[in-house]
Amino acid sequence: MAEPGTLSSIFKEKMEGILAEHEKQTTNQIAILAVQYLDGENLEEYGIKVAEKWMLGQKGKDNGVLVLLAVGDRKVRIEVGYGLEGTLTDVYCSRVIKNTMIPLFKEGNYEEGLEKGILQIIRILETGEVPTEPTLWDNFKGYRGVGEEQGFFLYILGLVFVGIIFTFAFIAAFHKEIKGVGLFFFLLVFFQWIPTVFYGFWGWVVCNGIYLIGFPIIRLTRNWLPGIKDLSDRVTGNVSYNEGGGGGFSGSSSDSSFGSSGGFSSGGGSFGGGGSSGSW
């Protein structure tokens, strides 16, 4: 693994060969710039400034791409010329950054992250096939909760909040004085978002499955099924339910840059902010 902010000469030579071959086949010009810090400059403005200074992309085709990595600032951007924005969409560039580059950058594998991201960009430019964007349902199924991004302790904290709504659901299901369905739907609202926020898609599936199946079964059997009836009697006897004001319970208790060639001399393409950025 290279020191933070540096790219090895072997990696540079390898990528220069890949980028030169891609330019030969398509005329697209792709360049990589790795710096330590942006010195307070805006990432997008910095990327456009570099792309225009290097005259990246051919005039009239606007087919340049700049991959900008600021290691010390922990930021990355894919800057796309006007002519390629229809293929390298902002949403797709964001997916490459978020799903491919950043996970490797977090581990300090800057060269591997750059290489895999560049190869994905090249593949879509050479095939011309824009990948289908994930639907809201696809994104929801892929969500793993706040702990995935912000720390495992939030998964632990989630047990408190999920435990609270299950406690209320337990009482509402077993308490014989609670006969309507209003409280069921009230709690259902909380089951939609609390487990999801902390545990993502599968937390939502498991918690809602338990609630939606368990609550009706207990309600239907709490007056006659042994075991459930006994527990229902205990809950009813030990927890008082007040329906008055809406209901209630109470208990009894360094810089590196390179591209596909030594310089770009085709006149330079135009850039207008197409692409995407990310940080970690």
pLDDT tens figures, 65-107: 999 999 999 999 999 999 999 889 998 999 999 999 999 999 9
CATH number of domain containing 44: 3.10.310.50
Q: Does position 25 have pLDDT exceeding 50, yes or no?
A: yes
Contact 117, 96 (CB under 8 A): yes
159 in any annotated domain: yes
116 with 165, same domain: the answer is no
pLDDT tens figures, 148-172: 878 889 999 999 999 999 999 999 9
125 in any annotated domain: yes
Determine the Cα–Cα distance for residues 274 and 261; give it in Å rounded to an integer: 23
77 in any annotated domain: yes
39 with 90, same domain: the answer is yes
172 in any annotated domain: yes
pLDDT band at 265 (very low <50, low <70, confident <90, very high): low
216 with 172, same domain: the answer is yes
Q: What pLDDT sits at residue 250?
A: 55
Q: Does position 251 have pLDDT exceeding 60, yes or no?
A: no
65 with 201, same domain: the answer is no
259 CB-side CA count, 13 A: 23
16 CB-side CA count, 13 A: 14
182 with 96, same domain: the answer is no
Q: What pLDDT sits at residue 125?
A: 95
Lowest mean pLDDT among 31-35, 57-61, 276-280: 276-280
pLDDT band at 134 (very low <50, low <70, confident <90, very high): confident
Determine the Cα–Cα distance for residues 16 and 63; give it in Å rounded to an integer: 17
What percent of the chain stands above pLDDT 70?
88
pLDDT band at 254 (very low <50, low <70, confident <90, very high): low
Query: How far does CA 44 lie from the centroid of its chain?
Result: 20
Estimate the crossing angle of helix 153-174 against helix 228-238, to 10 degrees: 100
28 with 111, same domain: the answer is yes
127 with 176, same domain: the answer is no
Domain region containing 110: 9-136+256-279
**Highest mean pLDDT out of 134-138, 193-197, 246-250:** 193-197
Query: What total number of domains does the chain contain?
Result: 2
In the chain the first and final C-alpha atoms are separated, in Å, by 19
Q: What pLDDT sits at residue 279?
A: 76
Contact 121, 65 (CB under 8 A): yes
Contact 30, 129 (CB under 8 A): no
pLDDT band at 277 (very low <50, low <70, confident <90, very high): confident
Mean pLDDT within 118-140: 88
